[in-house]
Each structure stands twice: as C-alpha cells, then as structure tokens.
Structure 1
Amino acid sequence: MNTQTSPATLPGLCARLRKRYRQMTGFKALFGLGMVAILLLMGLFSPLLAPHAPNSQDLMSAMRPPDWTGPHVLGTDHLGRDILSRIIYGSRVSLVIAIAVAVFASLLGVFLGVVGGYFGGRIDAAVQKVTEIFWSFPPLMLAIAIVAFIGQGLVIVVIALTAQRWIPYCRVTRAETMALRDREFILSARSLGASSRFIILHHILPNVMLSIIVMTSFAMANAIIAEASLSFLGLGVPPHIPTWGGMLSDSRAYISSAWWMALFPGLAIFLTVLGLNLLGDALRNQFDPKLKSH
C-alpha cells in the first residue's frame, strides 16, 4: 500500500496548514487584546469595580478562603483585606509602569538608535559605548541598585526599569536605519536638499515604526514582571499602594495555610504577561513579511 502523499494532495495540505496558522494568529491577537482591554478597564475604573477599599482591614475576617457567594469572592489576606479589590487596584500600578517604561524606553532607544545609525562615525561609536556599558549590568540588578540608592517611589521604579530597557529599541532601530540610509529614496531626498532632520522624521522613522510597535508589547510584559519582582523584594512602590508583586510577598509566610493569597495575584501576572506576549507575537506575524510569505 502506498502511504506517500500524492502531489495532488499537497496544495490542499498546505492550504489547511495556512488556515490553521491564520486561526492561531487570530486567537493570539484576540486573547492579547482582551487581556489588554481588561487591564485598562481595571486600571481606569478601579473604584467602580472593586467591591471593597483595597487597604480596608478587618482582622475578624482575616485569611478567609474564597467564597463565590460571600462578600469576599477571592478570599482575604492576613489582615482581612479583600484580595479581589487589591488585585483590581494593583492593576493600576502595573498599567502605569508598563506604559511609562515602554514610552520612555522607546523614545530614548529610538532616538539614540536612529541618530547613531544615520550619522555613523564618532556619534555611532559613542552610542555603542554607552549601550555596552548599560548592557553589562543584569537588568534586575541594575534596577535594584537604582531603587536602593535613590529610594522607593513610582517615578523611581519607572526610571530604574527604563535604565536598560531602551537598549533593544536602540539596537533594532540602529540596524534598520543603517540599512535604510543608503537606499535610493534616501539618496534622492538628500540630493534634493532635504535636511537630515527631515529625512529622519519623514523617511526613517515611518519605516521603523512597525518594529517599534511590536517591541512595545514585549517591553510592557517585561516591565510588569520586573515591577512585580521589585515589589516582591520590597523595593517597588511604597507598601501602602497595592501591587501584585507586593501581594505575592505578603503571601510567602502563609503559602501552606492560605493558598489563595498567592494564587490569584500570580494568575493576574501570568495572564497579563501571556496576553501581552501573544499580542506581540501576533503583531510580529502580521507585520513581518518573511512570516507572511509563508
């Protein structure tokens, strides 16, 4: 019996694989957009969505397990604070830090990458030296050092997390700018008297914007994980502000007796990061011509 696939069935097999690939890409995009929408809604409408005040303590109700029909759906922590309310309010910190770090890191990294890649020479060498210096430090260790030296605070955390996360933007935009600066349309614009500023703003940046958009979703996911790590270590925002990492830190001593204190903040971090990564992967599949051709 001949078990080999006949040539006539190969186009049909390829068509089915392409259809399955598109369906998977669509699922990634929908799941990622859904998680981003949920994060935005929780962050913007926390006072309306939270059933209790996030820091309201009730020692008589401490460490109650989840009760789907009671006043504390996801249970309470060791101080009687409602976990669901703290998760909803904690999304504010994750949202603000993720957006702020992505914005500032992209602005700094794209500026240095485009300037170094376009002008080259000593300017590019100086940018690369600065990049190598910051790249030599582990990201989390550098953030811990900055927070420990300067102090706690939301602005300090954003600065600490931005200190090294501009480097991927810089490297990618530098490589793309170096590939674009000798293209025909750039040479034509330069020969017609266009200034370097005009060329960068109207020809270089629009061509690297898609890469920046894709990288931003991954940068937001990394920022959320880094912020949770700092809060877990007690080096994030002040303790009175509820954060997912801070909730995980509070649950360490009660992990065997109150599993819900660690489970639900951990799930919030996991689902949010997973959604952002899937969204970034879907955007990359959509915009990368090499992937679209397959």
Structure 2
Amino acid sequence: MSFSLSALRWQALRRDYRHLTGFKAGFGFAMLAILLAMGLFSPWLAPHPPNQQDLMAAMLPPDWTGPYVLGTDHVGRDILSRIIYGSRVSLIIAGAVAIFASATGVALGVIAGWFGGWIDDAIQKLVEIFWSFPPLMLAIAIVAFVGQGLGIVIIALTAQRWIPYCRVTRAETIALREREFILSARTLGASDGFIIRHHILPNVMLSIIVMTSFAMANAIIAESALSFLGLGVPPAIPTWGGMLSDARSYISTAWWMALFPGLAIFLTVLGMNLLGDALRSQFDPKLKSH
C-alpha cells in the first residue's frame, strides 16, 4: 500500500513538473513572439512617431481611453510608441550578439577540443585573458574608446560572451573525440573537417541552442545597462535602457516613465530565461529522467 502511494505521489510530481516545463516554454515563446512582432511591425503598431515631441502634453499619466495609453515623458513623447520601437534595438542586439558569440565560441571550442596540443593551449590563454575582465566593464571600455553606434555595441557585448560557448563546446568535443563512432569514422579515412561537420557539431548543437536563449537575455540586460549609462546606441534611437535613464529625474513625479520600460525589460528577460530553462529540461537527459 505504501509503495502504491509513493508511486502515485511520484507520478503526480512528474506530471506537475511536465506542466511547469510546458508553462515555461509557452510563456517564453509568447514573449519572444511579442518581441518579434513589435520589432518587425513597429511602424504599424506604434500609435505615434517615437521621437515626436509635444511639450503641451509632457508628463501626462497613463490614460487607457486617451491618445497616450501609457502616458508621455518629460518632452511629450509617447511611452507606448517608444517601447514598441525600442524592441527593435533589443531584438537586433540580442540576435546579433547570440549569433556572433555562438559562431566564434563554437568554432574556437571545437578547434581546441579536437586538435588539442598547442592550439588548445593558445585558445585557453585567449579565454583567460578575456575572462579576466568584468563583462560590463569591458563593454564600457570598448564603447568609450571606439564610440557609440549599434555595431560598436554589438561588438562590445560579443567581446566576452563567446567564452561560455567555447568552454562548453571544447568539453563536449573532448568527450566525443574518443567515442566509438568517431574512432570508426577516422579509421575509415574521414577527414577532420568531415568529422567535425557531420559528427561533432550535430552533437553539440542542443547545448548551443539552450545557451543561446540565456545569452539573448543577458545581451538585452547588458544593452539596457549601456543605454542607461549613456553609452549605448545614439540618443535619437529609442531604447528601453535610454528610457529608464530619462526617467531617473522624474521617478517621484512621473512613475510611469520608469515603470513601463522596466516591465518591458523584465518580462522579455524573464520569458527568455524561462524558455532556456524549459529547453534545458527537455534536452538534458538527467533532467528528463526525473
């Protein structure tokens, strides 16, 4: 009887765990879909031009039935329109940083793990050099030295975010290098490039997909921090971090100026992190077995 009750409890826990994983995945995909929709269809979704100023309508509170649903800022710009257009910057930077960081990290990780020797030592020294700098401080230094711009921000945020990809890919490549199917391919005369393309990369791709969702969330936070400090994209381009920076002086008199951009950052990052956690639960054999 006690065994049956324990089995029933275990089944109930597994069912709840699957439901929780499904909720995480659904919420994450929903946030990503909303971000994509806002970024792609900003001109049609935004009720006003993002930089249109109207000093007569400055600092109006949210009005769900009026022309400014989420209120206006200190120079009369529509908060909702700026949030919608700001999603473009977050989407571009998150996607570009994830693509460049993953491509660089995976390439170096596979090379280091497959060839080993002095090549591995040289890449690990490079990892140690970049790893010694705090990520945000390195990005600030690059932007301050080179200048502002969307491309510069992407390079600054990619400068260190390739390292986790490199470390994970290197470890998995070393583990795969001695597997039977790899040894069989080498015995049959397959080249290094063929083995890497057809055997190594497909086996590390699931880990890369999971890491990418977390990397996109981290990139959005980092871009918002740079924009908040005035080191992101040019001020003429609306960003969520820039909106928070503008709201600092009015936090006690115009709470909506900081609340809604902050919620946009919070919900987007939360959704991507939950999506990454759900993907990890789905693809990790250790987690799937529980």
Tell me the TM-score normalised to structure 1 length. Answer: 0.98
Where in structure 2 are the equivalents of 1:239-258 lying within 5 Å?
Answer: 239-258=235-254
Where in structure 2 are the equivalents of 1:110-259 lying within 5 Å?
Answer: 110-259=106-255
Task: Specify the alignment match of 2:23 in structure 1.
Answer: 27
Paired residues, number: 290
How far apart are 1:8 and its partner, in Å? 2.0
Q: State which of 3, 10, 13 in structure 2 corresponds to 1:14.
A: 10
Alpha-carbon distance in structure 2 between the residues aligned to 1:100 and 1:201: 23
Q: Percent identity?
A: 80
What SS does the aligned partner of 1:251 have? helix
Alpha-carbon distance in structure 2 between the residues aligned to 1:15 and 1:273: 32
Runs of 4 or more consecutive aligned structure 1 residues displaced over 4 Å after TM superposition:
none
What SS does the aligned partner of 1:230 have? helix
Task: Specify the alignment match of 2:265 in structure 1.
Answer: 269
Q: State which of 283, 286, 289 in structure 2 corresponds to 1:287.
A: 283
Backbone CA RMSD of aligned residues:
0.6
Where in structure 2 are the equivalents of 1:56-71 lying within 5 Å?
Answer: 56-71=52-67
* Counterpart residue type for residue 220 of structure 1: M
Q: Which runs of 5+ in 2 are unaligned?
A: none
Tell me the TM-score normalised to structure 2 length. Answer: 1.00
State the Cα deviation string for residues 252-279 of structure 1 (Å, max 9, x = none): 0000000000000000000000000000
Alpha-carbon distance in structure 1 between the residues aligned to 2:180 and 2:39: 47
* Counterpart residue type for residue 93 of structure 1: V
Task: Specify the alignment match of 1:55 in structure 2.
Answer: 51
Q: Which runs of 5+ in 1 are unaligned?
A: none
* Counterpart residue type for residue 41 of structure 1: A
State the Cα deviation string for residues 54-94 of structure 1 (Å, max 9, x = none): 00000000000000000000000000000000000000000
Task: Specify the alignment match of 1:95 in structure 2.
Answer: 91
Alpha-carbon distance in structure 2 between the residues aligned to 1:6 and 1:113: 50
Alpha-carbon distance in structure 2 between the residues aligned to 1:79 and 1:110: 46
Task: Specify the alignment match of 1:106 in structure 2.
Answer: 102
Q: Does 1:41 align with 2:32?
A: no
How far apart are 1:7 and its partner, in Å? 2.0
How far apart are 1:46 and its partner, in Å? 0.1
What SS does the aligned partner of 2:169 have? helix
* Counterpart residue type for residue 32 of structure 2: V
What SS does the aligned partner of 1:55 have? coil
